[in-house]
Chains A and B, each alone.
Chain A
Amino acid sequence: MKKILTTCPYCGTGCMYYLVVGDDGKLAGVEPSTEHVVAKGQLCVKGWNAYHFVNHPDRLTQPMIRKNGKMKPASWDEALDLVVSKFKEIQAANGNDSVAFFSSAKTTNEENYLMMKLARAVFKTNNVDHCARLCHSSTVLGLAATFGSGAMTNSISCMEKADCILVTGSNTTEQHPLIGTRIIQNVVKNGAKLIVADNRKIRLSRLADIHVRCKNGTDVAFLNGIMNVIIAEGLEDKEFVRIRTENYAELKNTVANYPPEKAAEICGITPEEIIKVARMFAAADRAMIIYSMGITQHTHGVDNVKSCANLVMLTGNVGRPGTGVNPLRGQNNVQGACDMGALNNVFSGYQKVVDAAAREKFEKAWGVENLPDKPGLTITTAIDAAADGQLKALYVMGENPMMSDPDQNHVRKAMEKLDFLVVQDIFPTPTTEYADVILPAASYAEKDGTFTSTERRVQRVRKAIEPVGQSRSDWEILCDVARRAGYDQMNYNSASEIMDEVAAVTPIYGGVSFERIDQVGLQWPCPDKDHPGTPVLHAGKFSCGLGMFSPAEYRPSAELPDNDYPFLLSTGRCYFHFHTGTMTRRSRLLDREERFPYVELSPADAKELRIHDRQWVYVTTRRGEVKAMARVTDVAKKGVLFMPFHFEEGPANLLTINALDPVAKIPEFKVCAAKIRSA
């Protein structure tokens, strides 16, 4: 039996623990690390069970190729040669941008870096993206526009130092449990003020000083209303605004149009609630905002993020411990996948592809010429392009768009229309059903590398067991594809060597190496080998110099309830499952806990519709219909339905709308119109 220190593959909190390996070479449990800075000897329920899916009999164990409509086992040589020849053939006939690559927030930094290198250096396209598009692309753009850096400003330890915490659009105890518990401890032990702005009665709302239940999608009006009160009552941090920010006049003008009465009307709450929140937030010496998908997954997601940034700048809550704008990243390595440039418009370290100097730098580093200079397709626009027949081939690594992207029928059409689909994953998924080639990947327990957590901490992932069956690490597969495509500068003996290359071309990771993060991870920016890392961003100066107030006007969501579809449907995750359920639904205790697709509705709505708890119902939107089990609960507000998107047999994303934020191209998973009836 051995015990290997590694990082959890679920949320972005970044807890490290030990994988216990039995004498039979299979995983036999986990043990918390008492020394880890975040976990501190503790874990959530998913962490305790993060070993269980790894040796599940469903694991993909050998390459498969579609022959005469059926998937047949193939050798690695056969499968990879086919991938390369088809991609080259399609590009030759339709141009470089007729193919796209979906990278993965589940895989390591090294693998994301190589995926973007493969797309750009080898296949000469910027059509590379990953699921951050679906969760925090609004954050990356919104915070970059206001602060100059699109990441969580502070550290997880800051949750214990804040005097006032505004949690909005984050069910923290369920989605980032060990961050949620720090909030609980700060409130219970230190008496910190807690404001929860969330339509649902989430656990944190039970401990909150104020719980505001705005209508979904009215965040800009709510935040503008708060800022209106702060300015009207002279509660802003005048010194901070004067010295550290610009464009204040513009903000003042915009929020002047949102007196509490008007904002409250839009939000469906009382003016007093807005005034109370404004005063409580402004009164704190150290106040912070914590947000997640409830802010970002809207057609006005970028505006929501900017408004959060505006509020903390207005109150001088940036650059100090216990303050800041803290978007909680949902996946283990979604921060890292962004940092590595697995995005359509940037190389690693957010170096823009439109910048000639950046291109020249990467051309030199990679030994290539003519790197593509226009931003490519995003996950969402690539699906649209495939459905339209513009995109011909897609390489999906560790993603499951059939379950994770909006409007499943639209995604299905796209998958069916593709000439060639490669899916590299650890389990069969609804997406692999459409694949022409399936490549079996090693799980997080079978490879080395790094994940970057939500607090920008780069941490080690370690190989605990041998890859299952013939599966291989994603990075080894990608290198093999590159070699077969005739590119000879993607050869590495270890994941550590890849990180050394990342560090050489990525200033914010300049000082990161496996040696330095052997026991404790480093928080970027870490520009050189002597730099200790950066727990709090924007201290003294924003990344962009002065903080840019970026006021936004309230815009209604794309599809609101009407007579035909009288309910508002919001989607998200539950505590026991993760994303499309590929891992948690193969973990015994987690799947036992939540076995069925379900829809939350309020007791008042249930009574009116004569629907009782645990009854099967149909939820219908303009995109389709899904059968789910009714969960009658006061967590749900009257008129609002909530469904998690984990269940293949009841896919919430069959119902969601493919309406995108105009800038970030993030879908509006949090608002669409629906109806519900007994099954």
Chain B
Amino acid sequence: MNVMTEQQLEAFFKSVESNYDVRVPIKLHDGTRTLGKLGEGPLALAGGIIPTKITNVFFPQIETVLTIGPDDIQLQEPPAKPLLVVGFTAQDADCLEFVDRFYSENYRDDIYFNKRESAVIVCVSGRCGADGEFLKIAGEKCDMELICDGQKYLVAAYTKAGKALVKKAPIKKQASDKTFEELQKESDALATDDLELIQAASKLLLDDKVPDEFWKGISDRCIACTSCNLSCPTCTCFEVFDRKADGGIQRRRMWDSCQLDGFMREASGHNPMGEEKIRTRRRIHHKLAADVTRWGHLTCYLCGRCDLVCPTGIGIKAVCGEMVEQYGSK
């Protein structure tokens, strides 16, 4: 299998910038990791999940979807160059696969697919997680993968787009199959405790074994910061509004949050989700119960972002932990 160092990868990504709008994990001013362009900060492939919702590259916090001018209406144009996005984890790739389906199965969200359709997705995995954590190998969920052996990256291409990209890489070294097999073994051996936890929580919810009082207790600790929604790659809700700008009217959409009262409030002021405990329940119930019925599977892929970003410690894993502890044996 092909092998490249981080420096070689940086040079390689730089070399394809004429053909792709390249986004890679970089470090910002104070060391915060994010997705950015090469040159906007030092490349930072290692470090695990990028804290911000990674699907924002296709579904940003706010974007103009159309502009109404005096004479015409301009729709959002597809990007001039396809996006090449490096830095998805295996869990992120799962999230993306779901969002792709979500935005296309019943109706097609052209704004999303404008950017997504031609994009090339590169996962990063192996021995390069935060604090030495091993990142699960994504395999064919992405176009191309960089699997870290602790020092260098094994470069795997899975799709036509991925293979075409790898062909352009000036690869000089190869790793033995044994190295990959070891890494794959390590990946396969990763603990599945968290998955078992949310599956157990999902069962409790589907069996209706979690009473309102539990959600009341959780909602007492929720300050409606909306961070859980805004950091979750599978949260897809948005608000649409119009604003005067540059001599016309811009229709924009922005991330919304089901933790807000205004999210479901009716024009009368009545809100079928008017109680905090119902809103708190909704997000988790949606991903672990409602979506199981709708899509046939959980829609939390355990990326871990909501647990990191929640200031009161009630991210999905933490809540599931409490749920299973309190109701699991009953």
B184 within 8 A of A: no
Residue from the set B32, B224, B244, B256 with the largest chain A CB neighbour count within 10 Å:
B32
* Residues of chain B contacted by A519 (CB below 8 angstroms): 29-31
Q: A28-B60, A206-B220 are in contact. Are A41 and B34 (CB under 8 A)?
A: no
Measured in the bound complex, the distance between the Cα atoms of B28 and A52 in whole Å is 22
* Residues of chain A contacted by B261 (CB below 8 angstroms): 593
* Residues of chain B contacted by A34 (CB below 8 angstroms): 31-33, 51, 308
Measured in the bound complex, the distance between the Cα atoms of B108 and A292 in whole Å is 50
* Residues of chain A contacted by B99 (CB below 8 angstroms): none
A31 within 8 A of B: yes
Q: A43-B227, A57-B244 are in contact. Are A5 and B28 (CB under 8 A)?
A: yes
Q: A33-B32, A57-B243 are in contact. Are A42 and B225 (CB under 8 A)?
A: yes
B312 touches A36 (CB 8 A): no
B107 within 8 A of A: no
B40 within 8 A of A: yes
Measured in the bound complex, the distance between the Cα atoms of B220 and A206 in whole Å is 7
Measured in the bound complex, the distance between the Cα atoms of B34 and A615 in whole Å is 47
Stretch at the interface among A147-155, A174-182, A249-257, A656-664: A174-182
Measured in the bound complex, the distance between the Cα atoms of B61 and A189 in whole Å is 32
* Residues of chain A contacted by B28 (CB below 8 angstroms): 3, 5, 18, 33
B34 touches A18 (CB 8 A): yes
Closest Cβ of chain B: how far from A25's Cβ, in Å? 11
**Contact pattern, B 287-323, Cβ under 8 Å of A = 1, otherwise 0:** 0000000000000000000001111110000000000
A18 touches B230 (CB 8 A): no
A55 touches B245 (CB 8 A): yes
* Residues of chain B contacted by A33 (CB below 8 angstroms): 28, 30, 32
Cβ contact of A181, chosen from B29, B52, B311, cutoff 8 A = B311
Closest Cβ of chain B: how far from A586's Cβ, in Å? 10
Which residues A575-601 have CB closer than 8 A to chain B?
A: 575, 588-589, 592-593
Q: A29-B62, A177-B225, A180-B223 are in contact. Are A589 and B32 (CB under 8 A)?
A: no
A181 touches B61 (CB 8 A): no
B262 within 8 A of A: yes
Q: A178-B311, A207-B220, A589-B254 are in contact. Are A45 and B226 (CB under 8 A)?
A: yes
Closest Cβ of chain A: how far from B93's Cβ, in Å? 21
Measured in the bound complex, the distance between the Cα atoms of B254 and A55 in whole Å is 15
Q: Which residue of B lies closest to A518 (CB)?
A: B29
A184 within 8 A of B: yes
Q: Which residue of A lies closest to B37 (CB)?
A: A1
**Contact pattern, B 46-72, Cβ under 8 Å of A = 1, otherwise 0:** 000001100010001111000000000
A28 touches B61 (CB 8 A): yes
B221 within 8 A of A: yes
**Contact pattern, B 87-126, Cβ under 8 Å of A = 1, otherwise 0:** 0000000000000000000000000000000000000000
Which residues B221-278 have CB closer than 8 A to chain A?
A: 221, 223-227, 230, 239, 241, 243-245, 254, 256-257, 260-262, 269
B309 touches A41 (CB 8 A): yes
Q: A28-B60, A43-B225, A184-B312 are in contact. Are A1 and B254 (CB under 8 A)?
A: no
A35 within 8 A of B: yes
A588 touches B32 (CB 8 A): no
Closest Cβ of chain A: how far from B265's Cβ, in Å? 8
Q: A31-B32, A181-B312 are in contact. Are A41 and B51 (CB under 8 A)?
A: yes
Measured in the bound complex, the distance between the Cα atoms of B224 and A45 in whole Å is 7
Measured in the bound complex, the distance between the Cα atoms of B310 and A182 in whole Å is 11
Q: Which residue of A lies closest to B56 (CB)?
A: A29
B129 within 8 A of A: no
A44 touches B312 (CB 8 A): no
Q: A35-B31, A36-B30 are in contact. Are A57 and B245 (CB under 8 A)?
A: yes
Q: Contact residue range for chain B?
A: 35 or more
Measured in the bound complex, the distance between the Cα atoms of B310 and A36 in whole Å is 15
**Contact pattern, A 18-36, Cβ under 8 Å of B = 1, otherwise 0:** 1010000000111111111
B25 within 8 A of A: no
A173 within 8 A of B: yes
Q: Which residue of B lies closest to A40 (CB)?
A: B311
Q: Which residue of A lies closest to B268 (CB)?
A: A614
**Contact pattern, B 18-39, Cβ under 8 Å of A = 1, otherwise 0:** 0000000000111111101100
B262 touches A42 (CB 8 A): no
Closest Cβ of chain A: how far from B272's Cβ, in Å? 15
* Residues of chain A contacted by B254 (CB below 8 angstroms): 52, 588-589
Closest Cβ of chain B: how far from A8's Cβ, in Å? 13
**Contact pattern, A 169-196, Cβ under 8 Å of B = 1, otherwise 0:** 0000110011011101100110000000
Measured in the bound complex, the distance between the Cα atoms of B221 and A182 in whole Å is 11
Q: Which residue of B lies closest to A189 (CB)?
A: B313
A185 touches B313 (CB 8 A): yes
Closest Cβ of chain A: how far from B316's Cβ, in Å? 16
Measured in the bound complex, the distance between the Cα atoms of B70 and A557 in whole Å is 59
A213 within 8 A of B: no
* Residues of chain A contacted by B309 (CB below 8 angstroms): 32, 41-43
Residue from the set A4, A182, A588 with the largest chain B CB neighbour count within 10 Å:
A588
Which residues A36-83 have CB closer than 8 A to chain B?
A: 36, 41-45, 47-48, 51-52, 55-57
B51 touches A56 (CB 8 A): no
Closest Cβ of chain A: how far from B242's Cβ, in Å? 10
* Residues of chain B contacted by A174 (CB below 8 angstroms): 223
Closest Cβ of chain A: how far from B123's Cβ, in Å? 21
Closest Cβ of chain A: how far from B131's Cβ, in Å? 13
Measured in the bound complex, the distance between the Cα atoms of B311 and A57 in whole Å is 33
A48 touches B311 (CB 8 A): no
Q: List 6 A-B contacts (CB under 8 A).
A: A35-B30, A52-B62, A56-B243, A177-B311, A519-B30, A589-B239
A57-B243, A181-B311, A519-B31 provided; 11 other pairs, C-beta below 8 A?
A: A29-B62, A32-B32, A33-B28, A33-B32, A34-B33, A41-B32, A41-B309, A45-B223, A184-B312, A184-B313, A589-B226
Instruction: Using CB atoms and an 8 Å cutoff, list the residues of chain B in contact with chain A.
Output: 28-34, 36-37, 40, 51-52, 56, 60-63, 220-221, 223-227, 230, 239, 241, 243-245, 254, 256-257, 260-262, 269, 308-313
List 8 A-B pairs, minimum CB-CB distance, nearest first. Answer: A29-B61, A181-B311, A592-B262, A57-B244, A42-B311, A35-B30, A206-B220, A5-B29
Instruction: Using CB atoms and an 8 Å cutoff, list the residues of chain A in contact with chain B.
Output: 1-5, 16, 18, 20, 28-36, 41-45, 47-48, 51-52, 55-57, 173-174, 177-178, 180-182, 184-185, 188-189, 203, 206-207, 519-520, 575, 588-589, 592-593, 614
